[in-house]
Amino acid sequence: MADYPPELDSLLNPRSIAVIGASASPASSGYSLVVNLLKSGFRGQIYPVNPRSAEVLGMRTYPGVADIPRGVDLAIIAVRTPLVLEVLRQCGDNGVKVALIVSDGFADGGEEGRRLQEMAVRIARSYGIRVLGPNTQGFFNAENNLLVLTGSAIPPENIKRDAVSIVAQTGLFLGGWMVRGMTPEGTGMGKSIDLGNMCDIDHMDVLAYLAADPLTKVIVIHMDRLDRGKEFMELAGQITRRKPVIVVKPGKSPAARHAIMSHTGSLAGDDTVFEAMCRQAGIARANDFDEVEDLVRTFLYLPPLDGKQIGIINFSGTAGIIAADACAEFGLEVAELSRETIEKIGATLPPWASVGNPVDFMQSFEVDMRKVLNTAVETLLADPGVDGIALIVVTMSTPPIDAYLNIIKEVAAGGPSKPVCVWALGDEGSTREILPLARQGLVHYPSIRRAVKALATLYQRHRYLKSQGL
């Protein structure tokens, strides 16, 4: 496994931070950066730098970089673009280890911006400074209560914490994931880094860091471009043997590639080649934010899927048919139930009812549908010919139909040994009660198709690990 650059410890676990461009104006990034450091509970030393203000948020400011103590771990540069090069030189003279450049208008700003970015890189390298950015919104590290973020719309105390870490070339996955995390269905995060234009610190550096991080269980990567492609895929292939890696790489269409160039100054490569590289390295690809969240929750909370035989339990014939079609679409199969399973489920139904897969637990109002559902879940979990379950159910938070919700809770409490993916048609109250069951191994998805696709993703990972002899 590749060693990560030691400077990343200074970035993600700094003992001291200088905010150059700290401001007393609530509308400015320099203000938000200081607010977020304070509210998130950062325990290190903060040095606000501003020559025109005596204090920011009750903290003494320093007129310039030369006035702060020497050897600060991290300098956050939030000044006008024309001033950045001189500030970088001042940071070098002061012994700063890592610089995070918030300012934009570099490679994202045309030919002149690209020239400025090249100059910034030369200055930083001459001093041995590692640079994150430019054009970055910052990062988050739950481990040491550190939020470096240019916006102040997200209360740091409301950020959910979890074992997924994110490295991206966009603030969408930094700020956007936090916003989603504050909703009932949202997933938290442990670390998130916005690489911005990626003039120096890149995916490879951060991926090596996250590979060594014991608190990171799942890694999400967003990229507009891939530098050091061969090295990256070799490292990713090593990591995926121990941790799932999810990649979002847009730019399949000409319009998207043009937008990427405008956004970060990056050139998107051939997607067909990239797709083949991902398959070889065992990387799961996602197309958008929703798919990323589905995959994260799947990998974090569900047990492995060791085969492709799926049991479908549903309240509607049509819902079962949709699930069966999804199985075929994603390379899974509708399992053939054992005779014992059929007999146990059949004993809960009228003599005229047929039992098959999909299992319909609402075929007749002559039966105790709660008992049918309960029996179906128990027998499919016990059936050796069933590898995973797609459970489609109506749930309400009010009697009498809350009985189905209670069954789902009982299944989760039992710690199912097989992955159970749920699509529940119900009210807001029941959905709120189902979502936390993910941590017990029963995950809810927003659609039948997405639930089945989650099972397929688990099976693909099983096949990859098996091909690696694991």
Gyration radius from the chain CA atoms: 26
Put residue 456 in one of left, alpha, beta given phi > 0 → left and psi -120 to 50 → alpha.
alpha
Hey, where are the domains in the chain? 7-298, 303-467
The tokens for 166 are 């994110």
Q: Is the pLDDT assigned to residue 87 strictly greater than 50?
A: yes
Which residues touch 204 (CB under 8 Å, ≥6 apart)? Answer: 2, 227, 228, 231, 232, 235
Q: Residue 240 pLDDT more than 50?
A: yes
401 versus 5: the higher-pLDDT residue is 5
Q: Which two tokens stand for residue 261?
A: 């160039």
Q: Per-residue pLDDT for 263 more than 80?
A: no
**CATH architecture of structural domain 303-467:** 3-Layer(aba) Sandwich (3.40)
Helix (H, G, I), strand (E, B) or coil at 47: strand
Q: What are the structure tokens assigned to 224, written together?
A: 């507009």
Residue 141 neighbours by CB under 8 Å, 6+ apart: 12, 13, 190, 191
- Measured CA to CA, the distance from residue 78 to residue 384 in angstroms comes to 59
Report residue 469 as tokens. 């002899």
Query: In this predicted model, what pLDDT tens digit does every residue of 112-143 receive, in sequence order?
Result: 999 999 999 999 999 999 999 999 999 999 99
* Helix or strand (DSSP H, E) at 452: helix 448-467
Domain 7-298 has CATH 3.40.50.720: yes
pLDDT in tens, 414-429: 999 999 999 998 888 8
The pair of three-digit structure tokens given for residue 448, joined into one six-digit string: 């039948």
- DSSP reduced 3-state for 413: helix
Yes or no: say if 164 and 190 are a contact pair by the CB < 8 Å rule.
Answer: yes
Lowest mean per-residue pLDDT among 77-81, 226-230, 463-467:
226-230
Asked if domains 7-298 and 303-467 share a fold, the reply is: yes
Q: How confident is the model at residue 11 (pLDDT cuts 50, 70, 90)?
A: very high
Phi, psi of 179 (to 5 degrees): -60, -45
pLDDT digit string, tens, across residues 355-369: 999 998 765 667 787
Q: Residue 322: pLDDT above 60?
A: yes
The predicted structure's pLDDT at residue 253: 55
Asked whether the beta carbons of 424 and 431 are under 8 A apart, the reply is yes
- CA separation for the pair 198, 266 (Å, rounded): 9
Q: Is the pLDDT of residue 250 over 90?
A: no
In 10 A of CB 399, how many CB atoms? 7
pLDDT at 269 exceeding the cut of 60: no
Q: What is the pLDDT of residue 401?
A: 63
In the predicted model, is pLDDT for residue 386 greater than 90?
yes
